């Protein structure tokens, strides 16, 4: 296969394929931006002069000025890439049935499995490369535009440093490579069969007891951090440098996985409840789909739930700061100015959570449209049989919202509990202040997440009309 | 079609009189051309002469000849051999339908050939519909279904041929006349 | 009595004409086969008659009322209550069991869950697929799926059944079972049937055959008025 043939075949596709390429490129660009931002923060040189006062005085923001805080800042920026990468993963599935059919048709026409895989890999890789290059361009352009020292010569952003060229190149070229490898991995079943994928709706067992186990494990990790550190302090020893971060990362991952699995379980439970008690056909359709594939919900919500977990944790942390202030105040001290700094930082974290929710909603939209497209034949047949599109739309709304509400509640609860586990009730001189449950903030987060889901469903349903067109009934 | 082998097969199921054989034939092969009595007796006599069947007693009480016949060992052998022989699949393309279109093209013109094809296709379609009605009747037996299926499959094949030939008849006419 | 009528129906997909003025009557209880070569507009005619598509010109009337001018909602309701549709394949909802699929139209009409299930089971019984009532489409054979789809099309006791190549994806025997059931049940209920097919054998199940050619009804039924192809004299 000559490169020109490869390019021609990789680009032969419908509008959905174009949409997938554009979305893949966009998520590639976003991930590059977040990654380069994190690397830039890490690239800020720490002055070694000045008798221990090794602040980088050229910045107006303490997060950049103090070397001790820069690691955390970079870490937070990297966390932002998680929902972005989840979005990229879901984008790769957009229009996948059509692409699978096309690739299978190529196989029938005599293409080898390798050639077909190359096509898919070329498409994803090139799209991501375009995205990362666009991301790099945006980064470099943004650097120039935002390089505006204020009257005291301070910079708002580290626009005066660049990450090492090698590292930058690794990000720009590495991300497309990883994306291409992942798409090759996802396509290995299609490549082997000229008949394409046949999706048989299998009955899946309801998920096992893993969810509570994992959540408990996560909580245990978080709760254990303090006592373990205190044990080392009590015994006058230095704790291993990676112990606390490892506990936090592992605990966080376990809790997240637990919540995601728990959503599968919730989907199944909600599905069977609906199946038993729901009256209308819309709810019945939704219930059957939830029970047939309880994991669909958890897969599509994964990024959103991760963002919510972070958000609830941040809310818990904020209420802890407040309680801490109160303790300081009631024991006669003045709350330090730096505590306000912490609260300001929390605002930044909340902003990051909001961005993550929006990105995750994008992924949800992609998954939803994909689900509609995959079932378009059955939907078109229902419409032809006189089922109003509204009924199908309602069933899709049920199917997304019914598990979303309890899943959001679960994620927020677990997130808050994690924060509580890590940061104990502040006490000083016998005064203890139990941090409030930040009901208001949690409610805002939940409302924001559900609103994002609702908007997503609304937009997704716009695709229902084209997916139920009578052309879908034609043979083939 | 071999009437003698049919009778041998019917006798393999048990000894029978000539009259019973005729009745069994007509019910097992519905929609086949009915067997005449004379043909049954003539065939039985020939089979008895060749030692393939044997007469086993007579009852002359009620009416005409009531000789019952049984399959002999040689008869069984002959039957097995016949069953094991594959019929040559369409050795010659010979059909009145086919011949008529050729003759119409030779002796008349394209339109004559066409009118014949159209009329024949109509008759085929009517017969096909008739047999399908028989087949879908609620009280139908499997004998009827299998017999009708056989005829329907052939009519279907003829109809396809008629329709395709209708599309080709003009080209064909030029070839025949050149 | 003529139930369903098409008068000079014209329909084009972009610049490609699919129907160029088709007139057709379907009487109550009549089974009409619509045949013709691929691309002659058979399916498009069925979609126009069933009110799934709106013709560009011409009229479609159902019991004296023009339905081609009705809103999508009104036509949906008509399809749900008076019509039944059966396609080649892939019309069952993959996540619902056979019984639930069949019960769906009744549920849409507001029938209670238990009553709808009982009716669905009755229809599955009549179509000899009661044993797969609780199986999902993916767990059934093609013939069983198609018989469930037929049960779903008939469960509302429609006045007209539209079947578009209903046996196209099945082997001869399975296809025959579907058609035998279809014809028998349609005759019992005096349901009219519009049966689109390209096979003479399948058209044999109908009372009457209408042949389409290039978007118009071929009056001779067999292309007698064809222009002579290939330049012959």
A228 and A132 in one domain?
Answer: no
ipTM exceeding 0.90, yes/no: no
pLDDT (tens digit per residue) in C150-181 = 999 999 899 999 999 998 888 888 888 899 99
C2 pLDDT band, cuts 50/70/90, is confident
| Contact assignment for A382 to C93 by CB distance below 8 Å | yes
Mean pLDDT of C46-60: 91
A376 CA: distance to closest CA in chain C (Å): 10
Find chain A residues with C-beta within 8 A of C74's C-beta.
none
The per-residue pLDDT for A361 is 83
Mean pLDDT of B128-138: 89
| Contact assignment for C108 to A391 by CB distance below 8 Å | yes
Query: What is the rounded CA–CA span in Å between residue A162 and residue A45?
Result: 10
Query: What is the rounded CA–CA span in Å between residue A368 and residue A452?
Result: 13
A399 CA: distance to closest CA in chain C (Å): 12
Name the burial class of residue A53, with classes exposed (0-12), middle (13-18) and buried (19+) by CB atoms within 10 angstroms of its CB.
exposed
Find chain B residues with C-beta within 8 A of C220's C-beta.
118
Tokens 């908007």 correspond to A455
| Contact assignment for B118 to C222 by CB distance below 8 Å | yes
Q: Domain tally for chain A?
A: 2
Find chain C residues with C-beta within 8 A of B122's C-beta.
221-222
| Contact assignment for B115 to C224 by CB distance below 8 Å | yes
Positive or negative: CA dihedral A95, A96, A99, A100:
negative
Q: C229 touching B, CB under 8 A? A: yes
| Contact assignment for A279 to C137 by CB distance below 8 Å | no
A423 and A299 in one domain?
Answer: yes
pLDDT exceeds cutoff 90 at C119: yes
The per-residue pLDDT for A200 is 40
A180 and A88 in one domain?
Answer: yes
Query: What is the rounded CA–CA span in Å between residue C138 and residue C142?
Result: 9
The per-residue pLDDT for A196 is 47
Residues in chain A predicted with pLDDT less than 50, given as ranges, are: 191, 196-203, 337, 475-476
Find chain A residues with C-beta within 8 A of C107's C-beta.
280-281, 284
Q: Which residue has the higher pLDDT, C142 or A325?
A: C142
B11 CA: distance to closest CA in chain C (Å): 32
Under 8 Å CB pairs connecting chains A and C tally to 96
C231 CA: distance to closest CA in chain A (Å): 34
In a domain, A377, yes or no: yes
Find chain C residues with C-beta within 8 A of B153's C-beta.
201
A23 and A170 in one domain?
Answer: yes
C39 CA: distance to closest CA in chain A (Å): 11
| Contact assignment for C222 to B170 by CB distance below 8 Å | no
Find chain C residues with C-beta within 8 A of B136's C-beta.
179-180, 183-184, 205
In a domain, A200, yes or no: no
| Contact assignment for C136 to A292 by CB distance below 8 Å | yes
In a domain, A439, yes or no: yes
A123 and A221 in one domain?
Answer: no
Find chain B residues with C-beta within 8 A of C207's C-beta.
129
Tokens of A441: 């903030």
In a domain, A204, yes or no: no
State the CB neighbour count (10 A cutoff) for residue B90.
8
Find chain A residues with C-beta within 8 A of C96's C-beta.
284-285, 288
The per-residue pLDDT for A255 is 86
Find chain C residues with C-beta within 8 A of A293's C-beta.
95
Name C217's bridge partners: C212
Q: C98 touching A, CB under 8 A? A: no
C14 in helix, strand or coil? coil
The per-residue pLDDT for A137 is 93
Give buried/exposed letters for A145-159 (b at 16+ CB in 10 A, else e).
Answer: eeeeeeeeeebebbb
Nearest chain A residue to C153 by CA distance is A385
State the CB neighbour count (10 A cutoff) for residue A101.
15
| Contact assignment for C224 to B114 by CB distance below 8 Å | yes
In a domain, A314, yes or no: yes
From the list C73, C91, C95, which residue is nearest A381 (CB)? C91
Q: What's the half-sphere exposure (Cβ side, CA atoms, 13 Å) at A147? A: 10
The percentage of residues in chain B with a pLDDT greater than 70, rounded to a whole number, is 92
B104 in helix, strand or coil? helix
Chain B residues within 8 angstroms (CB to CB) of chain C: 110, 114-115, 117-118, 121-122, 125, 128-129, 131-132, 135-136, 138, 152-153, 155-156, 159-160, 162-163, 166-167, 170-171, 173-174
C228 pLDDT band, cuts 50/70/90, is very low
State the CB neighbour count (10 A cutoff) for residue A356.
25
| Contact assignment for B128 to C224 by CB distance below 8 Å | no
The per-residue pLDDT for A471 is 66
Tokens of C60: 């479609």
C174 CA: distance to closest CA in chain B (Å): 14
In a domain, A277, yes or no: yes
C188 CA: distance to closest CA in chain B (Å): 11
Q: C80 touching A, CB under 8 A? A: yes
Tokens of C32: 């009409």
A217 and A355 in one domain?
Answer: yes
The per-residue pLDDT for C132 is 93
Range list of H helices, A94-164: 96-108, 113-146
Tokens of B17: 């009189």
C226 pLDDT band, cuts 50/70/90, is very low
User: Under the phi-then-psi rule, with left for phi > 0, alpha for psi from -120 to 50, and beta for the rest, what region is C228?
Assistant: beta
From the list C184, C222, C226, which residue is nearest B136 (CB)? C184
Q: Which residue has the higher pLDDT, A69 or C84?
A: C84
Query: What is the rounded CA–CA span in Å between residue A282 and residue A391?
Result: 6
A111 and A43 in one domain?
Answer: yes
Chain A residues within 8 angstroms (CB to CB) of chain C: 199-203, 279-281, 284-285, 288-289, 291-293, 375, 377-378, 381-388, 391, 470, 473-475
C138 CA: distance to closest CA in chain A (Å): 5
Nearest chain C residue to B136 by CA distance is C180
> Which of A183, A82, A80, A177 has the alpha carbon at shortest distance from A132?
A177
Subunits touching A (CB < 8 Å, at least 3 pairs)? C
Query: What is the rounded CA–CA span in Å between residue A448 and residue A437?
Result: 18
Find chain C residues with C-beta within 8 A of A474's C-beta.
43
The per-residue pLDDT for A202 is 45
In a domain, A203, yes or no: no
> Which of B98, B82, B61 has the alpha carbon at shortest distance from B6?
B82
Which of A175-184, B29-38, C214-223 shows the lowest mean pLDDT across its residues?
C214-223
Find chain C residues with C-beta within 8 A of A288's C-beta.
93, 95-97, 100
A222 and A157 in one domain?
Answer: no
Q: Which helix (H) or strand (E) holds A431?
A: strand A431-432
The per-residue pLDDT for A336 is 55
Range of A158's domain? Answer: 3-192
Q: How many residues does chain B have?
A: 178
Mean pLDDT of B99-128: 84
Tokens of A15: 């509008």
Find chain C residues with C-beta within 8 A of B131's C-beta.
204
Tokens of C134: 């609780």
Nearest chain C residue to A271 by CA distance is C95
CB C85 within 8 A of CB C142: no
The per-residue pLDDT for B14 is 84
| Contact assignment for B132 to C205 by CB distance below 8 Å | yes
DSSP structure string for C148-199: HHHHHHHTT--SEEEEESTTTTS-HHHHHHHHHHHHHHHHHHT-EEEEE-S-
Q: Give the highest mean pLDDT range of A144-148, C1-5, C32-36.
A: C32-36
The percentage of residues in chain C with a pLDDT greater than 70, rounded to a whole number, is 93
Q: Which helix (H) or strand (E) holds A345?
A: helix A337-374
Nearest chain A residue to C167 by CA distance is A475
CB A39 within 8 A of CB A167: yes
A306 and A233 in one domain?
Answer: yes
The per-residue pLDDT for C56 is 92
Name C22's bridge partners: C9
Examine the fold and report which residue of A139, A157, A192 is the final residue of a domain before the chain moves on. Answer: A192
In a domain, A41, yes or no: yes
A145 and A56 in one domain?
Answer: yes
B53 in helix, strand or coil? strand
The per-residue pLDDT for B155 is 92
| Contact assignment for C85 to A383 by CB distance below 8 Å | no
A323 and A439 in one domain?
Answer: yes
Find chain C residues with C-beta within 8 A of A473's C-beta.
43, 87, 164
A408 and A357 in one domain?
Answer: yes
> Which of C157, C145, C209 has the alpha carbon at shortest distance from C188?
C157
Q: Which residue has the higher pLDDT, C230 or C156?
A: C156
């Amino acid at each position: 296969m000559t490169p020109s043939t490869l390019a021609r075949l990789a680009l032969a596709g419908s509008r959905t394929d174009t949409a997938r390429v554009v979305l893949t490129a966009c998520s590639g660009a976003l991930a590059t931006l977040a990654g380069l931002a994190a690397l830039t923060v890490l690239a800020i040189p720490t002055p070694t002069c000045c008798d221990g006062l090794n602040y980088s005085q050229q910045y107006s923001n303490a997060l950049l000025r103090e070397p001790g805080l820069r690691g955390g800042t970079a870490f937070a920026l990297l966390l932002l890439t998680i929902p972005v990468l989840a979005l990229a993963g879901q984008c790769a599935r957009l229009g996948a049935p059509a692409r699978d059919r096309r690739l299978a048709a190529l196989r029938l026409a005599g293409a080898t499995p390798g050639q077909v895989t190359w096509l898919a890999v070329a498409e994803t890789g090139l799209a991501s490369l375009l995205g990362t290059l666009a991301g790099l361009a945006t980064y470099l352009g943004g650097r120039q535009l935002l390089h505006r020292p204020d009257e005291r010569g301070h910079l708002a952003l580290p626009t005066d440093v660049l990450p090492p060229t090698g590292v930058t190149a690794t990000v720009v070229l590495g991300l497309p490579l990883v994306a291409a490898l992942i798409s090759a991995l996802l396509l290995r079943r299609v490549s082997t069969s000229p008949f394409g994928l046949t999706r048989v709706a299998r009955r899946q067992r309801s998920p096992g007891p893993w969810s509570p186990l994992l959540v408990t494990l996560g909580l245990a990790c978080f709760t254990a951090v303090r006592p373990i550190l205190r044990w080392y302090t009590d015994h006058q020893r230095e704790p291993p440098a990676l112990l606390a971060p490892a506990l936090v990362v592992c605990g966080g991952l376990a809790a997240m996985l637990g919540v995601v699995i728990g959503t599968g379980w919730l989907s199944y439970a909600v599905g069977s409840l609906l199946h038993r008690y729901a009256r209308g056909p819309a709810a019945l359709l939704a219930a059957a789909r939830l029970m047939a594939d309880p994991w669909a919900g958890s897969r599509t919500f994964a990024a959103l739930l991760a963002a919510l977990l972070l958000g609830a944790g941040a809310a818990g942390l904020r209420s802890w700061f407040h309680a801490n202030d109160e303790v300081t105040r009631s024991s006669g001290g003045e709350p330090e100015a730096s505590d306000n700094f912490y609260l300001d930082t929390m605002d930044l974290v909340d902003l990051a959570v909001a961005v993550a929710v929006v990105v995750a909603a994008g992924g949800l939209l992609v998954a939803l449209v994909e689900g509609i497209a995959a079932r378009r034949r059955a939907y078109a047949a229902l419409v032809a049989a006189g089922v109003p599109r509204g009924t199908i739309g309602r069933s899709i709304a049920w199917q997304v919202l019914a598990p979303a509400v309890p899943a959001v509640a679960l994620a927020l609860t677990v997130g808050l509990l994690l924060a509580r586990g890590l940061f104990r009730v502040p006490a000083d001189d016998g005064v203890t202040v139990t941090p409030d449950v930040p009901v208001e903030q949690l409610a805002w987060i939940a409302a924001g997440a559900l609103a994002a889901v609702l908007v997503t469903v609304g937009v997704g349903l716009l695709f229902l009309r084209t997916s139920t067109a009578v052309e879908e009934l034609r043979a083939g | 079609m071999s009437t003698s082998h049919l009778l041998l097969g019917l006798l393999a199921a048990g000894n029978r009189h000539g009259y019973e054989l005729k009745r069994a034939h007509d019910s097992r092969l519905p929609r086949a051309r009915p067997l005449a009595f004379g043909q049954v007796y003539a065939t039985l006599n020939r089979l008895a002469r060749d030692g393939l069947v044997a007469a086993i007693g007579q009852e002359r009480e009620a009416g005409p000849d009531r000789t019952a016949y049984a399959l002999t060992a040689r008869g069984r052998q002959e039957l097995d051999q016949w069953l094991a022989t594959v019929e040559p699949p369409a050795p010659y393309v010979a059909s009145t339908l086919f011949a008529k279109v050729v003759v119409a093209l030779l002796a008349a013109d394209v339109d004559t050939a066409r009118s014949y094809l159209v009329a024949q296709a109509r008759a085929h379609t009517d017969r096909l519909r008739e047999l399908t009605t028989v087949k879908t009747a609620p009280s139908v037996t499997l004998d009827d279904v299998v017999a009708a299926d056989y005829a329907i499959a052939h009519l279907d094949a003829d109809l396809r041929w008629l329709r395709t030939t209708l599309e080709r008849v003009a080209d064909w006419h030029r070839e025949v006349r050149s | 009595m003529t139930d369903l009528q098409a008068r000079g129906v014209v329909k084009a997909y972009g610049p490609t004409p699919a129907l160029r003025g088709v007139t057709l009557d379907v009487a109550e209880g009549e089974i009409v086969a619509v045949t013709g070569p691929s691309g002659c507009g058979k399916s498009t005619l069925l979609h126009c008659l069933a009110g799934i598509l709106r013709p560009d010109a011409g009229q479609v009337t159902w019991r004296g009322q023009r339905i081609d001018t009705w809103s999508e909602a009104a036509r949906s309701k008509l399809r749900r209550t008076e019509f039944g549709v059966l396609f080649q394949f892939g019309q069952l909802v993959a996540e619902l069991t056979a019984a639930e699929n069949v019960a769906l139209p009744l549920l849409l009409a507001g029938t209670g869950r238990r009553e709808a299930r009982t009716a669905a089971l009755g229809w599955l019984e009549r179509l000899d697929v009661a044993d797969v009532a609780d199986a999902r489409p993916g767990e059934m054979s093609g013939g069983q799926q198609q018989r469930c789809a037929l049960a779903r099309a008939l469960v509302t006791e429609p006045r007209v059944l539209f079947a578009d190549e209903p046996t196209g994806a099945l082997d001869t025997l399975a296809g025959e079972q579907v058609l035998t059931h279809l014809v028998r049940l349609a005759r019992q209920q005096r349901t009219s049937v519009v049966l689109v097919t390209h096979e003479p054998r399948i058209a044999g199940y109908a009372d009457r055959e209408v042949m389409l050619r290039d978007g118009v009804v071929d009056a001779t039924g067999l292309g007698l008025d064809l222009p002579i192809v290939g330049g012959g004299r």
